[in-house]
Amino acid sequence: MVDLQQHPHRRYNPLTRQWVLVSPQRTQRPWQGQVEEAKDEKILEYDPTCYLCPGNSRSAGHSNPHYEDTFVFDNDFPALEPNTVSHETNEKGLLVAESESGICRVVCFSPRHDLTLAGMTQAQVRKVVDAWASQYSQLGSLSFINSVQIFENRGAMMGASNSHPHGQIWASSHIPDETAKECSATENYFRANGSCLLCDYLKLELSKEVRVVCTNDDFVAVVPFWGIWPFETLVIGKRHVTGLDQLSEGDRNGLADILRRLTTMYDELFQSSFPYTMGFHQQPTDGTEYPGYHLHAHFYPPLLRSATVRKFMVGYELLAEPQRDVTPEQAAARLRGEA
């Protein structure tokens, strides 16, 4: 086997059926590009100007209750609306459009303005897991909702508008592209092999250990073999379930534990509140069974080599395919605090 830590090569992502170019020989190159300002501002426990803190008012005259753990509300500026005008456009297969309807919600993880998932207790994160699971079931059971995307944008670098710990849910009538890509790849794999792609992948990763970042009895976090972002991770359940709604009590505690531990490892890596987008991929809620679909979460942090140097998807990556220098194996070792 050729040493993948030495030579440029491509890796295949079986979930999306796309490739990534890996160039480990480039990690030594000097950095003269943009450097972000390191911000170390003091965040208050309660911010009277925050639109997510308990008791405060939001836009459109709504005010938040004095909530004690999580709080979910309909986004006041939703990207999707339940009652859109239904339409379809198709001119020669070139000018194609269709209406899209849906529901957008905001999930406050904690009444405390200054916390992050890493700083919350396992019991507090468990409440967030419960809120996500219940939203998935609730929204997914609506006849016009066929896919539920739960996500968190953490940090100004990722476009989060507010440091209060919160995430979003966009539930839509159509199955969006990333979910659809994964669905078709995992269902094809299931039909061809009679087993689940992520169950099989997890067995391989647990036997090799090199890309594993942390584990508990129920979940594993790995830097995927095919990751695009330098410190991208995938959180995979050890048991095959298709959505958060199917997690047992024990699994939910396990998920809360691994989310806390992983986000703590991220913060420790560059001694800062690590920015990322994270989100869950779950079975579509269109009434079809997807036996090959395995619940998982992706973490996509934008940092390249330190808290102040970020990765941009530009040039070759926009025009040809994504590329990385630090290998997934090196990134996993750094996240484990070994390198």
235 touches Zn ion (CB under 5 A): no
The nearer residue to ligand H2U, 56 or 137, going by C-beta atoms, is 56
52 touches Zn ion (CB under 5 A): yes
Site string for ligand H2U, 145-184 (x = CB under 6 A): --------x------xxx-----x----------------
From 113, 164, 166, 298, active-site residue: 166
The nearer residue to ligand H2U, 164 or 310, going by C-beta atoms, is 164
58 touches ligand H2U (CB under 6 A): yes
195 touches ligand H2U (CB under 6 A): no
- What does 148 interact with, of ligand H2U, Zn ion, none (CB < 5 to 8 A by kind)? none
Answer for the pair 5, 327: CB distance below 8 angstroms, yes or no. yes
305 touches ligand H2U (CB under 6 A): no
Among 112, 113, 296, 311, binds Zn ion (CB under 5 A): 113
Among 15, 20, 22, 53, binds Zn ion (CB under 5 A): 53
Q: Which two tokens stand for residue 304?
A: 């390249």
131 touches ligand H2U (CB under 6 A): no
The nearer residue to ligand H2U, 59 or 207, going by C-beta atoms, is 59
The nearer residue to ligand H2U, 154 or 261, going by C-beta atoms, is 154
Answer for the pair 64, 71: CB distance below 8 angstroms, yes or no. yes
Exposure string of 211-235, with b = 16+ CB inside 10 Å and e = fewer, is bbbbbeebbbbbbbbbbbbbbbbbb
The nearer residue to Zn ion, 52 or 133, going by C-beta atoms, is 52
Nearest-approach distance from CB 114 to ligand H2U, in angstroms: 16
Binding footprint of Zn ion, residue count (CB under 5 A): 6
Place of tokens 């008791």: 55
Dist. CA 324–CA 309, nearest whole Å: 14
77 touches ligand H2U (CB under 6 A): yes
Catalytic residue check, 164 = no
Instruction: Classify the C-alpha dihedral 274-222-262-276 as positive or negative.
Output: positive
81 touches ligand H2U (CB under 6 A): no
Place of tokens 């986000």: 263
Dist. CA 241–CA 264, nearest whole Å: 26
Answer for the pair 101, 83: CB distance below 8 angstroms, yes or no. yes
Residues of this chain that bind Zn ion (CB under 5 A): 47, 50, 52-53, 113, 164
Residues of this chain that bind ligand H2U (CB under 6 A): 51, 58-59, 75-77, 106, 153, 160-162, 168
Catalytic residues: 166
